Amino acid sequence: MTQKMVSSVLRDARRIVVKVGSSLVTNEGRGLDETAIGEWSRQLAALVRGEGGVPREVVMVSSGAIAEGMKRLGWTARPQEIHELQAAAAVGQMGLAQMYETKLREQGMGSAQVLLTHADLADRERYLNARSTLLTLLRLGVVPVINENDTVVTDEIKFGDNDTLGALVANLVEADALVILTDQKGLYTADPRKDPSAQFVHEAQAGDLALEAMAGGAGSSIGKGGMITKILAAKRAAGSGASTVIAWGREENVLVRLVQGEALGTLLVAQTAKTQARKQWMADHLQMRGAVVVDAGAAAKLRDEGKSLLPIGMTAVEGDFSRGEVIAVRDPSGREIARGLANYASAEARLLCRKPSSEFEKLLGYVAESEMVHRDNLVLSAA
C-alpha cells in the first residue's frame, strides 16, 4: 500500500466514529481528565466545522463511566459483581456526560448522550430506531457521545468492551472510518512494554489472522479491552467497509492531523468499499419475506434516476415482513427490479400504498420515514 493511499483513508472520510478508552478518559483511573476531554472535544468540533478540509460527521464512543464511578465511590479495584459494576456506572455516567456536554458546548457544539446495549442492536427494530436517531443527530450537527448502558446490562448482553461497541456503531451509522484512541502509539508485533524488539505495524489488512496471533490480552486494570479487542473491532468494522486507525490518544491534534492526511498510528484497511459492502449484503439475500409492486413511473425513477421508493408509487404489498427486513421491489409485470431495507412493516405498507407522506401520520399515528426504501438502502437488480 502506498503512503498516498494510507493518508487518503481518513482524509476522504466524511463520517467518522472515534472511540476513546477508559485509561485515557480517566487518566488511568484517577478521575475524568478534563484537559484531555476538552482537547478531544476541540478536535471533534474542528472536524464538524471542516477546519482544514471538508465538514465531517463525527460520533464519539467513550468509555469511562465505570472508572469514574469507581473513583467517586473510592474503589481502587474493578469490582467483579455485576450489580457493583452497574452501580459504579450509574454514578460515573453522570460526570462523564456532564464533562462532554460542557467541553463540547465550550466549542459551540451541541451534544447528545446515547446509551446502548447489545440487545438494542440485536433487535432489528431497535437497531433501526437507534440508527435513525444517530443519523438525525448528525444531520443536526450534534455530536452523539455513546457508551454502553452498563447500568442495566448483564453478562449475557454486554458488548464486553467499547472497542466492539465502536465497531458496532461504525456499522450502525455506516461510517467511513473508525478511529480507536488508546494509550499506545498503535499496533506492535509484540507488547512493547515487555519486548524491546517489538516492531511497529504501520498498516495491515483488517481481518488478517496474523494480527490476532500477535496481539496480547487486556492492558490495564481500569479498562477491559486490549490490543486484541481493537484488532477484532477493526475486523468487524471492515465488514461494512470502514477502515480503522489505532492511534495514541494524547498525540497532539491527532484527529485533525489524521483527516488532513497525516499517517499516524496503525491503519487497518477494509478491503470492501462501504457502499459495496452494504449493497452486496442485500444482493446476497436468497430468501426475502415479501415484496412491493410499483407502478411504471416509480420503476423508472428507481432504475433511471436513482431515486428512493416512495409509498405513493406502490400499488401492492406481498408477503409478511417487518421493518428493516430486505424486500424485493417489482415492476408492474412482476419482475424484480431492486431490493432494499423496508422502512415500514408489511401491514403498515399496505395502508400507505398510493398515499403521499403528508397522510402518513393520519394513517399510522406516526411517521418513521418519508420513503418506503431509501436510495442508500436500495440496490438495483441485474437487468
Distance of CA 349 to the CA centre of its chain: 28
The whole-angstrom distance between residue 9's C-alpha and the CA centroid of its chain comes to 17
The β-bridge relationship of strands 378-380 and 200-201 is: unpaired
**In angstroms, what CA-CA distances link 35 with 144, 151, 222?**
20, 26, 19
3-273 and 285-380: identical CATH topology: no
Q: Output the nine-digit C-alpha cell for 232.
A: 477484532
| Predicted local confidence at residue 280, as pLDDT | 65
Residue-wise pLDDT for 156-191, tens only, equals 546 657 898 999 999 889 899 999 999 889 998 887
Tell me the C-alpha distance between 77 and 197, whole Å.
32
At residue 301, the pLDDT reads 95
Model-level pTM? 0.80
* CATH code at 285-380: 2.30.130.10
Instruction: Taking the CA atoms of 359, 364, 366 and 372 in sequence, report the sign of the dihedral they define.
Output: negative
In DSSP terms, which residues pair with 293 in a beta bridge?
A: 316, 330
45 vs 48: CA distance, rounded Å: 5
Residues 160, 28: Cα–Cα separation, whole Å: 19
Domain 3-273 has CATH 3.90.79.10: no
What integer pLDDT is reported at residue 278 of this predicted model?
63
Residue 245 CA, chain-centre distance (Å), reads 14
CB neighbour list of residue 268: distance below 8 Å, 6 or more residues apart: 187, 203, 204, 205, 206, 211, 231, 234, 235, 238, 243, 244, 245, 246
Give me the residues of the chain with pLDDT under 70, please. Answer: 1-7, 52, 153-160, 216-225, 274-286, 383
Compute the C-alpha angle 147/324/112, nearest 5°.
25
Structure confidence by residue, pLDDT tens digits, 195-242:
888 899 999 999 888 888 777 544 443 344 478 889 999 998 998 889
Domain boundaries, the chain: 3-273, 285-380
Contacts of 72 by beta carbon, 8 Å cutoff, 6+ apart = 91, 92, 95
C-alpha grid cell for residue 283?
444482493
Cell (9 digits) for 251: 498525540
Instruction: Supply the pLDDT for residue 25.
Output: 92
